[in-house]
Amino acid sequence: MKFVDLKRQSRNELEKLLVEKRGELREHRFKVGEGQLKNVSSIKKIRQVIARILTIFNTKITEDTKESTEEVN
């Protein structure tokens, strides 16, 4: 997934997608261990998507925190 597509999603959607991708990564790792996965580079792509999701998720949390502290001041 592209960064722009992920950025448009809400926090709940990002959480669901993160759980889905982590499960997919776990399945791929098991398949590698069993010798069933031929395309090992797919693990790298999944890890990159997970990193993008976490980056956007943490950015949204930081922005929300800044907004709430500005309201207090």
Q: What is the pTM of this model?
A: 0.85
Q: Which residue has the tokens 């999701």?
A: 53
Q: Alpha-carbon distance 68 to 33, whole Å?
A: 46
Look at residue 40 and give its three-state secondary structure.
coil
Q: CA 38, 40, 41, 43 torsion: positive or negative?
A: positive
**pLDDT for residue 69:** 78
Model confidence at 45: pLDDT above 90: yes
Of the pLDDT bands very low, low, confident and very high (cuts 50, 70, 90), residue 71 is: confident
Kindly tell me if the per-residue pLDDT of 65 is higher than 90: no
Q: Specify whether the CB–CB gap between 12 and 53 falls below 8 A.
A: no
73 has a pLDDT exceeding 70: no
Q: Considering the chain, what percentage of its residues have pLDDT values greater than 90?
A: 64
Q: Give yes or no for a contact between 6 and 56, defined as CB atoms under 8 angstroms apart.
A: yes
